[in-house]
Amino acid sequence: MITIKDVARLAEVSISTVSRVINDSKPVSPEVRKRVLKVIEETGYKPNDVARSLVTRRSYLIGVIVSNLAQSYVADIVRGIEEIGKMYGYDILLCSSYSSKETQEKYLQLLDRKQAEGLFLVGNMFDNEVVELAKSLNKPIVYFTRDVKENMNHISIDCNSAIYEMTNYLIKEGHKEIVYVSDFEDRSTVEEDKIKGYLKALEDNELENSKIYVVGSNKHGKAYELGKTLVKDTENFTAAVCSNDEIAIGIMDCFMDNGLKVPDDISVAGFGNIREGKYVRPELTTIGEPYYDVGAVGMRMLIKMIKGDKTQQGLMELPFTLEKRNSVKTLK
Amino acid sequence: MITIKDVARLAEVSISTVSRVINDSKPVSPEVRKRVLKVIEETGYKPNDVARSLVTRRSYLIGVIVSNLAQSYVADIVRGIEEIGKMYGYDILLCSSYSSKETQEKYLQLLDRKQAEGLFLVGNMFDNEVVELAKSLNKPIVYFTRDVKENMNHISIDCNSAIYEMTNYLIKEGHKEIVYVSDFEDRSTVEEDKIKGYLKALEDNELENSKIYVVGSNKHGKAYELGKTLVKDTENFTAAVCSNDEIAIGIMDCFMDNGLKVPDDISVAGFGNIREGKYVRPELTTIGEPYYDVGAVGMRMLIKMIKGDKTQQGLMELPFTLEKRNSVKTLK
DNA sequence: CTGAAAGCGCTTACAG
DNA sequence: CTGAAAGCGCTTACAG
């Protein structure tokens, strides 16, 4: 391995000078610079970032703890984080926790030792102890989660308005009996926001019959189960707004298997715009969260925090979209 | 920031001793060890991995250059890589290249400077210059690609046998006129293998009518286009074997939009078992590549190479599965 | 503009 | 079992 010393020796200058031409940090005379550059060229010297990190105390490493990369929304957030990060010279250290608290804590320690300059935590919920440990590391942190705690820098969309608008859309399409299918029995803060959005839309339109079903955590499977309950209840509503796309798809599957047609018999709307929603028949009407942008904006925020800029703290909201597709019927 | 020096001072020992208790590298008397541990506990000292890396010349960093994390198979490979890597103390440095040669070269340099100990290259094809540059870095490399070059450590399934078996399966189901829909106009080595598998199956069953269609690179869209051609040709075949699931789904979409029923009118088989294939109706019959395992096995191989073990070089093949679902009809 | 020296936070022979 | 010292490959005041 060829080091800065070798280059200095070969170019007959001091290592200080070599360092200066590599980093363009101080003036170097043209002749000397040329000589150094030539040696670098010839030897194929490449600076060792580890050594540099040690002295500059800058690792340019960002730790990203995700729940599960297999979820397309997670992958999209990571893509956004990485893309912007790379633009500013930061690299991503990827850690998949599969929602295990112990794993999250382990990785937090790991990332600290690796001198990560900032952290992302992405997942539905994080245990309080994890959040506390993360805070104790004294690094900038940005969260993407459904359960927002105090003093969290958090990027998301306005879930309340999103569900409000979706419900409103169904009402405008002529639906008067709309149920809401909620995720999680222990409700996250975001889930509460969504429910409020649903109820508000009914209220604003002077609709009386609100009804909320709750599915457990194993989304698609449990939703399918719950679907059986809904099937029996089918004369009491014409549309279902779901807390997320996995639930919406699970319910649609169940409906179809039980001879109910979507959207002819029942309309279904999701939330999240996962990739599968476009492949499902009928294509799922849903709310689009710009996950890639969410990641990108989060990274910009984190970089500002690293720089010490006072940045917009707390919640940051991005625009959502209503993806109107074929799982909702217009009633006359 | 609290360093090994602080711990040494507080515990009234030398930094050598502190290092020894941290790393359990040499015997330390019980009393001294206890004293040191106590100080570490109290101060919350955590070793700086950057400093350690510099002296041990071990970064425990693995560079992973992927095409696009949004593709579910890529995410699965990365999950496999990470999971095994973490078991052995390695961390993943994620780099998304979006198949740009320049980006790949940039990241290769970057990973070199960051002292990555090994590399993964995952993507359909890699330019020769990229492969050469990667080799010149003199680090262990494992590839996941559809275009296998010489001297590549490569993990995959036996694509030839996979397509052979799939074609055979269709034949056993009573299909006698089967077309093959190929990816890429410039064929990769793996694509050639697949085509050979298709032709071999026909030959072994004494079927004459082979026919190969070729779609361009933008898979789903182009496949949909090609589907229109197939629709016109529909009396000449009863089943289509596709080079990958994206193509299969694109064609199925096109068939449905043109009033053809899958599998009643035409059977369709894919390759790859992407997640969307389970959401599509009918669910897609396809070949399952164990992407997670592919990543995991690759990481095990890479770790061996890093250790200097002579490992199984060159191609390594994993078992595939025939995912029999509903897009194939049994003909009587 | 240039170089000698100190130092980043560790590990590891070496000597005792 | 323990410590003093050298050194990993860099950057950066400091002095000239």
CA of B30 to C1' of C14 (A): 24
C-alpha dihedral over A67, A70, A74, A79, to 10 degrees? Answer: 130
Which residue has the closest alpha carbon to C12 C1'?
B16
Beta-sheet strand order (sheet of B91-96): A315-318, A154-157, A141-144, A118-122, A61-66, A91-96, B91-96, B61-66, B118-122, B141-144, B154-157, B315-318
Query: Is residue A78 domain-shared with residue A67, that is, in the same domain?
Result: yes
Cβ contact A57 with chain D strand, < 7 A: no
Answer whether residue B299 is part of any domain. yes
pLDDT in tens, A36-60: 999 999 999 999 999 999 999 999 9
Nucleotide nearest to B27 (CA to C1'): D1
Query: Is residue A171 domain-shared with residue A101, that is, in the same domain?
Result: no
Chain A nearest CA to B242, separation (Å): 18
* CATH number of the domain to which A127 belongs: 3.40.50.2300
Answer whether residue B174 is part of any domain. yes
The mean per-residue pLDDT over the stretch B282-304 comes to 95
Query: Is residue B81 domain-shared with residue B194, that is, in the same domain?
Result: no
Contact (CB<8Å) B76/A53:
no
Q: What is the pLDDT of residue B220?
A: 67
Q: Which of the residues B40, B76, B91, B327 would you substitute to probe the A interface, choosing the one with the greatest number of A C-beta atoms within 10 Å?
A: B91
Q: What is the pLDDT of residue A311?
A: 66
Contact residues on chain B for A48, CB-CB shorter than 8 A: 54, 113, 115
Answer whether residue A267 is part of any domain. yes
Answer whether residue A325 is part of any domain. no
pTM of the model: 0.91
Answer whether residue B328 is part of any domain. no
Answer whether residue A322 is part of any domain. no
Nucleotide nearest to B58 (CA to C1'): D8
The mean per-residue pLDDT over the stretch A264-278 comes to 93
Structure tokens at B115: 């002292």
Q: Distance between CA atoms of A19 and A9, rounded to whole angstroms? A: 13
Query: Is residue A191 domain-shared with residue A281, that is, in the same domain?
Result: yes
Which residue has the closest alpha carbon to C4 C1'?
A14
What is the distance, to the nearest Å, from the Cα of residue A190 to the centroid of all Cα atoms in its chain?
Answer: 14
Answer whether residue A324 is part of any domain. no
pLDDT in tens, B172-185: 999 999 999 998 76
pLDDT in tens, A2-25: 999 999 999 999 999 999 999 998
Query: Is residue A81 domain-shared with residue A226, that is, in the same domain?
Result: no
The mean per-residue pLDDT over the stretch A153-165 comes to 93
Q: What is the pLDDT of residue A275?
A: 87
pLDDT in tens, A188-225: 888 999 999 999 999 999 998 899 999 876 666 788 88
Select from A75, A109, A279 the Cβ nearest to the Cβ of B70. Answer: A75
The mean per-residue pLDDT over the stretch B24-49 comes to 92
Query: Is residue A284 domain-shared with residue A164, that is, in the same domain?
Result: yes
Query: Is residue A221 domain-shared with residue A302, that is, in the same domain?
Result: no
Contact (CB<8Å) A72/B76:
no
Select from A82, A91, A279 the Cβ nearest to the Cβ of B114. Answer: A91
Where in the sequence is the domain holding A121, given as residue range(s)? 61-157+291-317
| Cβ-based interface (< 8 Å): residues of B facing A | 46-51, 53-54, 59, 68-70, 72, 75-76, 78-79, 82-83, 86, 91-96, 109-110, 112-115, 249, 275-276, 279-281
Query: Is residue A170 domain-shared with residue A221, that is, in the same domain?
Result: yes
pLDDT in tens, B71-114: 999 999 999 999 999 999 999 999 999 999 999 999 999 999 99
Residue A313 has pLDDT above 80, yes or no: no
Query: Is residue A153 domain-shared with residue A229, that is, in the same domain?
Result: no
Cis-peptide, bond into residue B282, ω within 30° of zero: yes
Query: Is residue B51 domain-shared with residue B104, that is, in the same domain?
Result: no
Q: Which residues touch strand C (CB under 7 A)?
A: A 12-17, 20, 26-29, 31-33, 51, 54-55, 57; B 1, 3-5, 15-16, 19-20, 22-23, 25, 45-48, 51-52, 54-56
Query: Is residue A196 domain-shared with residue A270, that is, in the same domain?
Result: yes
Residue B54 has pLDDT above 80, yes or no: yes
Which of these ranges, B34-38, B267-271, B277-281, has the smallest mean pLDDT? B277-281
Chain A nearest CA to B221, separation (Å): 13
Domain count, chain A: 3
Contact (CB<8Å) A93/B96:
no
Hits for CB < 7 Å against strand D across B residues 53-82: 54-55, 57
**In the predicted model, what is the mean pLDDT of chain B?**
92
Query: Is residue A152 domain-shared with residue A295, that is, in the same domain?
Result: yes
- Domain stop point among A56, A77, A92: A56
Residue B187 has pLDDT above 90, yes or no: no
Answer whether residue B330 is part of any domain. no
Q: Distance between CA atoms of B256 and B248, rounded to whole angstroms? A: 12
The mean per-residue pLDDT over the stretch B290-319 comes to 88
